Structure 1
């Protein structure tokens, strides 16, 4: 949230004040079919035993924009990611694996990363509905989304850095602007008068300002701001990482230690950005380490020990410092969040390469595979609009009480019912607003990818 509305230098340590009676606050085509080869009309003599075709490799990047920018299948956010990704990057239609004698198979998608991103978005919506303090420990969504985005960024920077950064901005900002028009107009109607800080609604290098009426909608923008800074810094960070990968990866936890124990940073938007960048820097660098094969070369025992040490320290710090924020919720404790996310994300990304996990079996389940596709293609839309969907779900459910049948047979007072109605409204926003992501990616707009 905007620093001038928080009263201190970063967003952590406050108890959320969610309106409408629920807890939680914001802190971003079909899959390939089996390869078909043209059948010969007559059997052909073969002087040697036939050799199997080599398996098609799965690309490492987690986002659709991994594909070359001018490719038919991927005009290469996640934030955002994020969200997304959250996660919040451009998306491209998933290719099929049809081949013919005239050409090779199209590249496939990696369903392991796609599934992680979809689960991260679901967990974000669940947290903002139920306010579960333990949700971040079970599945630290933001750390996972920054890790996936870092992998993608390292892949993309094989192209000129200026083009990559421009591509990210082009895919991130239009969906943000489209969403922001509705939020800003609604706040203006509710007596908000912005100052010069409204420029952050154009490029969110700092927290965009807003009033208390719209706080639940705009407070999630910290993820887009953090993702944007990581994108801008990535050319420098990647060059620094490649000088001494293991050393730089380890030292990427140092900034959050400095901010916690030495210097808390300035009490303004710069300070807020420093806290968030420091909290998720290690996860972003883990993405670099995965892409460059650093994690793959690590011994399993080292990965397990480092992961358990980070989880142990993060969990210990969260539970022993509850007095500062009144909860063990990782979102209220940046140091605990940084170490817990580091310990959780590291084995996820290491196992991906070490064991060759790709979740290709997911394509056998058409509906589940379709859901994962939509989540990844509309990650920015889902992240930006999910809070508004939850806000609108409350007065909508209030109207249900006026219908006797609904009052009798529906669990109108259940948070789970709110969760379900919220997802229905998210689906509506995906249909109504998701096309903006297609326009931002210079593709033909579609209701669903």
Structure 2
């Protein structure tokens, strides 16, 4: 089963030079209906980094320094949607904006750009950026769960003492870090599912790590058989995500999540390599509409406990996200800055992109923490009347939504600087504007 979650990748600029030659099997195509086509979009660039040089012996142009603010905006919207989804639980949000597919596509585009450098150094760099923020989160979450009474040795889901090794996933998330589904009691300060809520989204880090490790092979395959590599994950999802082949336990979850979102990750490759820009727009949109129509048809007959929530329907999630991402990237403008009224979002967009991992890791735990904080409002003198209490009851989720953003801001200040240290940048508490360049390695 897939779940909904954040993204992890920084935005980048689109190259100003002509697109590289298409991979084998991709003919050059031209669509003159809308005037000259823009050059192929580069993957997101890391904050404060200069352009990566073109790989030796290739004809792929180097991506220029700077940020593609359109990609930054997509990541910002994906993060906001994730927080709203986990708070309100609205199933239709998974259809309105498939955040995870968007974030994996953006991360895949960045990975393709980075793989102009040696693959092992790129993988090490990605792990260096991912793991310290996870360690900080685990250093807070694990003691809280232990203090609340969780004993991994007695947890039947971990298989006793042999399952203790799964705790190592809090160090390197080869699998999803373990947690108890219920902890505490209904009369406690927190809801009994608070640990599940806090740690559940960590599946994303496992999937991200798998994609990072597999990317050199995936990119090699994409450059040789692009369409087969692009569509193979959908075929795999049709096998492992529909019950045709059943893989049990955490391994089955990991394989299913990989299959569901691998198509979006490879779409990031296609965006960076300029493949999508060479497909006529009418053809790309028409095919995407077919994928998305199939997704809705399949979801209508295979609904889970939350009905139209695509996170419970792997094949619908995979095909809907795939079509949605194709359209987003096919119409991608090249923005060096946000245009018009969107410019008002410049600082929030910049902050969200600089602290994407922190926001993703902490948001669900902070939603949980907002509940006992908000409950204190019932003790205020003017809340003692039935009318005031009823009003708070009816608007409780809205107040939780308003409270969680200041709490996320506190988490950014308290833990976000770890992302800078992990990226070898000068640490900043509130990176809502341009920062200094990263120190060059000797």
TM-score band, normalised by shorter chain? 0.7 to 0.9
Instruction: Measure, in 2, the Cα distance between the counterparts of 1:246 and 1:325.
Output: 34
The alpha-carbon distance between structure 1 residues 27 and 291, as it changes in their structure 2 partners (threshold 3 A), is closer
The alignment status of 1:424 with 2:435, answered yes or no, reads no
Say which of 91, 101, 112 aligns to 1:143.
101
- Could you tell me which residue of structure 2 aligns to residue 441 of structure 1? 423
| Paired residue secondary structure (1:325) | coil
CA contact (8 A) 1:275 1:334 kept: yes
Instruction: Measure, in 2, the Cα distance between the counterparts of 1:298 and 1:70.
Output: 26
CA contact (8 A) 2:41 2:272 kept: no
CA contact (8 A) 1:117 1:376 kept: yes
Say which of 119, 123, 130 aligns to 2:77.
119
The alpha-carbon distance between structure 1 residues 68 and 372, as it changes in their structure 2 partners (threshold 3 A), is same
Could you tell which deviates more after superposition, 361-370 or 386-395? 361-370
Name structure 2 gaps, 5 residues minimum.
13-38, 54-63, 153-163, 184-194, 432-442
Question: How big is each residue's C-alpha offset from its partner over 1:301-334, in whole Å with a ceiling of 9 and x where there is no partner?
Answer: 2111111001101111112212x53511001111
The alpha-carbon distance between structure 1 residues 196 and 185, as it changes in their structure 2 partners (threshold 3 A), is same
Q: CA deviation at 1:193?
A: 2.2
The alpha-carbon distance between structure 1 residues 393 and 164, as it changes in their structure 2 partners (threshold 3 A), is same
- Could you tell me which residue of structure 1 aligns to residue 158 of structure 2? none
- Could you tell me which residue of structure 1 aligns to residue 437 of structure 2? none
CA contact (8 A) 1:58 1:108 kept: no
TM-score (norm. length: structure 2): 0.77
TM-score (norm. length: structure 1): 0.76
The alignment status of 1:156 with 2:133, answered yes or no, reads no
The alignment status of 1:339 with 2:319, answered yes or no, reads yes
CA contact (8 A) 1:64 1:377 kept: no
Say which of 172, 175, 198 aligns to 2:167.
198
Q: CA deviation at 1:299?
A: 1.0
Q: CA deviation at 1:385?
A: 0.6
Q: CA deviation at 1:251?
A: 2.5
The alpha-carbon distance between structure 1 residues 381 and 363, as it changes in their structure 2 partners (threshold 3 A), is farther
Instruction: Report 1:363-442 matches (<5 A).
Output: 367-405=344-382, 408=388, 412-413=392-393, 414=395, 415-442=397-424
Q: CA deviation at 1:66?
A: 8.8
The alignment status of 1:275 with 2:256, answered yes or no, reads yes
Instruction: Measure, in 1, the Cα distance between the counterparts of 2:300 and 2:104.
Output: 24
Instruction: Measure, in 1, the Cα distance between the counterparts of 2:121 and 2:48.
Output: 14
Instruction: Measure, in 2, the Cα distance between the counterparts of 1:401 and 1:261.
Output: 47
The alignment status of 1:210 with 2:179, answered yes or no, reads yes
The alpha-carbon distance between structure 1 residues 438 and 58, as it changes in their structure 2 partners (threshold 3 A), is farther
| Paired residue secondary structure (1:222) | helix
- Could you tell me which residue of structure 2 aligns to residue 78 of structure 1? none
Say which of 269, 287, 299 aligns to 1:288.
269
CA RMSD of aligned residues (A): 2.6
Q: CA deviation at 1:159?
A: 0.5
Q: CA deviation at 1:248?
A: 2.0
CA contact (8 A) 1:63 1:152 kept: yes
- Could you tell me which residue of structure 1 aligns to residue 161 of structure 2? none
- Could you tell me which residue of structure 1 aligns to residue 128 of structure 2? 170
CA contact (8 A) 1:59 1:108 kept: no
Could you tell which deviates more after superposition, 195-204 or 131-140? 195-204
Instruction: Report 1:348-359 matches (<5 A).
Output: 348-352=328-332, 356-358=333-335
Q: CA deviation at 1:191?
A: 1.8
* Paired residue total: 364
Stretches (4+) displaced over 4 A: 68-71, 363-367, 405-411
CA contact (8 A) 2:45 2:66 kept: no
CA contact (8 A) 1:129 1:419 kept: yes
